Amino acid sequence: MGILSKKDAGLIKDPLFDNNPITIQVLGICSALAITAELKASIVMAVSVMFVLGLGNVVISLMRNIIPSKIRIIVQLIVVATLVIIVDLVLKAFAYELSKTLSVFVGLIITNCIIMGRFEAFALGNGPWRSFLDGIGNALGYGLILVIVGFFRELLGSGTLLGFKVLGDPIEKTGLYAIGYENNGFMLLSPMALIVVGIIIWIQRSKNKSLIEEA
Amino acid sequence: MEHIELFFKSIFIDNMVFATFLGMCSYLAISKKVSTSVGMGAAVIFVLTVTVPLNWLLDQYILQEGALSWLGEEYASYDLSFLSFIMFIATIATMVQLVEIIVEKFSPSLYNSLGIFLPLIAVNCAILGGSLFMQSREIPSFGLAVTYGVGSGIGWFLAILAIAAIREKIRYSSVPPALRGLGITFIITGLMAIGFMSFGGMLTGGDEEKKDEPATEAKVEVKQELDKEKDAKVVAENTNINK
């Protein structure tokens, strides 16, 4: 971290754990849950959000003094929508199959609360470089949870990671399947995403008591 | 019959919250009290009912491939579907603003109960999601788009009402301290989603094939001519794969 001052480094580090967008700020849950059945989709989603949030924060921060506050939501939505269209077209061009899996959830990055939340809370009041770091940091925190959930759901649900059969072949009964292991197909269904995130929150809060809610 | 089927399907089977996790942010943030969640739910039904049909018209007459043919022959080949995100979100943001002004003018009491929630709705994923699903599922007619909008709104309303009622009661239970608040809400929502999955066989009688037939028929009706082109594309793709 030679280039970054201590304060700037905090912008990237804080959202990873103690101020994680998903588990602490409760932002951007929708997409986090819907596309995590496969690790690959989770990674692509995390990278897309990082691109949109990093660049969007810079653009909003550059324009922060000329946006009239009454119409700022529409301005923000237009900036995000433009960036998301770029992501969508790139995905359709280079990873068509994956863009089918993600379906409407690429479009839903527009209304991902992380993006609007960071624009409102940070980019409107800070310079472009710090806003960029904040965007990247929050996207990393978001991506971290996505990758953890995607990892467990794909590993336990279909016995693969990124499409590789890490636990052996279920049909030919090799690897773990030889001793009677079965895939838990339930992990692939959408409700399990909620429960996995719930468990992550549980573990995180029991490690860091200061995060526990009163009610 | 078509309308009834789509209506119940969008409430129970494709429930916004439990099947696709749309609008989770406001769902988690506003479900602490039943009274506020009723206000938010009503606002979502209202806005979905207005924006889904409106975006259907936009999609059908401006954005789809060949949709501009009503302007004249030379426009028939335009495909503006890449603009759909920006058009949909602009429509939604404008509509929300418009609805807010109209409600404030004509029904101050309704405005006071919905007031705080209306601006929040512009960035609620459930609203944009409704329009995007309407587009990707190729809903064939304007009437069905209205039904879909109302149905998914009511589904969202039911979900937030149910979780708010549970969260009011759960205050009296001894939840492990680290799970209190957010954690337990996630897990309850997961369990409710498992319950809602059992509605899956409701309209099909557990027979998956029946479910597919009407959907494909509907698509054929909409895109009689476009289909030929698409078929050609699919064949081309398939041959590529075979190579």
pLDDT in tens, A145-187: 888 888 888 888 877 787 777 777 767 777 677 777 777 777 7
Residues B28, B43 within the same domain: yes
Residue listed under structure tokens 């698509």? B219
Same domain, B241 and B198: no
Determine which of A20, A78, A87, A104 to mutate to test the interface with B (most B C-beta atoms within 10 Å). Answer: A104
Q: Which residues of A touch B191 (CB under 8 A)?
A: 191, 195
Residues B88 and B31 in one domain: yes
Answer yes or no: is pLDDT of B121 > 50: yes
Q: Cβ contact (<8 Å) for B191 and A198?
A: no
Question: Quick check: A215 pLDDT over 60?
Answer: no
Looking at the domain assignment, is residue A83 inside a domain? yes
Q: Give chain B positions within 8 Å (CB) of A107.
A: 84-85, 128, 132
Regarding whether B238 and B185 lie in a shared domain, the answer is no
Judge if ipTM > 0.85.
no
> Of B29-43, B121-135, B156-170, which one has max mean pLDDT?
B156-170
Chain B residue with minimum CA distance to A84: B85
Task: Report which of B21, B197, B186 is spatially closest to residue A195, judged by C-alpha positions.
Answer: B186
Question: Which H helix or E strand runs over B242?
Answer: helix B224-242
Q: Residue B215: pLDDT above 80?
A: no
CB contacts, 8 Å: B90 with chain A: 74, 77-78, 81
In this prediction, residue B228 carries a pLDDT of: 47
For residue B114, the model assigns a pLDDT of 65
Indicate whether B189 and B113 sit together in one domain. yes
Domain count, chain A: 1
> Chain B residues with CB inside 8 Å of A197's CB?
186
Residues B211, B106, single domain; the answer is no
The alpha carbon of residue A162 is apart from the nearest alpha carbon of chain B, in Å, by: 22
Q: How far apart are CA B225 and CA A167, in angstroms?
A: 48
B193 and B211 co-located in one domain: no
Q: Is residue A106 part of a domain?
A: yes
Report the percent of chain B where pLDDT is more than 90. 7
CB contact under 8 A, B183 and A110: no
Name the minimum distance, in Å, from the CA of B134 to any CA of chain A. 10
Q: Are residues B83 and B184 in the same domain?
A: yes
How high is the mean pLDDT of chain A?
A: 80
pLDDT band with cut points at 50, 70 and 90 for residue A126: confident
Angle, in degrees to the nearest 10, between helices B142-170 and B34-58 = 160
A141 in any annotated domain: yes
Structural domain total, chain B? 2
Interface probe for B, chosen from A110, A145, A189 (most Cβ of B below 10 Å), is A110
Over the stretch B16-26, which tens digit does the pLDDT of each residue have?
888 877 888 77
> Residue B217 pLDDT more than 50?
no
Nearest Cα of chain A lies from the Cα of B162 at a distance, in angstroms, of 16
Domain co-membership, B159 together with B224: no
- Chain A residues near residue B199 by CB distance under 8 angstroms: none
Question: Which of B29, B132, B197 minimises the CB distance to A108?
Answer: B132
Return the percentage of chain A with pLDDT > 90, whole number. 0
Enclosing domain of residue B243 = 204-243
Indicate whether B131 and B214 sit together in one domain.
Answer: no
pTM: 0.78
Indicate if the pLDDT at residue B136 is higher than 90.
no
Has residue A142 been placed in a domain? Answer: yes
Domain range spanning residue A108? 20-214
Average pLDDT over residues B66-76: 74
Position A176 in a domain: yes
User: Is the residue at A7 inside a domain?
Assistant: no
Nearest C-alpha of chain B: how many angstroms from A103?
8
Q: Are B24 and B115 in a shared domain?
A: yes
Let me know if residue A205 belongs to a domain.
yes
Residue B114 shares a structural domain with residue B220: no
* Residue A15 covered by a domain: no
Is the predicted pLDDT of residue B154 greater than 90, yes or no?
yes
CA B168 to chain A, closest CA, distance in angstroms equals 10
Helical ranges in chain A per DSSP H: 6-13, 29-34, 39-62, 72-94, 96-102, 113-121, 128-158, 190-207
A46-78 residue pLDDT tens: 888 889 888 988 988 888 888 887 777 778 888
B150 pLDDT band (50/70/90 cuts)? very high
Nearest to B153 by CA among B178, B170, B134, B140: B134
Which contacts qualify for B87-91: CB closer than 8 Å, 24 or more apart?
B87/B55, B87/B58, B87/B62, B87/B63, B88/B55, B88/B58, B88/B128, B88/B131, B88/B132, B89/A77, B89/A78, B89/A81, B89/A110, B89/A111, B89/B128, B90/A74, B90/A77, B90/A78, B90/A81, B91/B51, B91/B54, B91/B55, B91/B58, B91/B131
Nearest-Cα residue of chain A relative to residue B174: A215
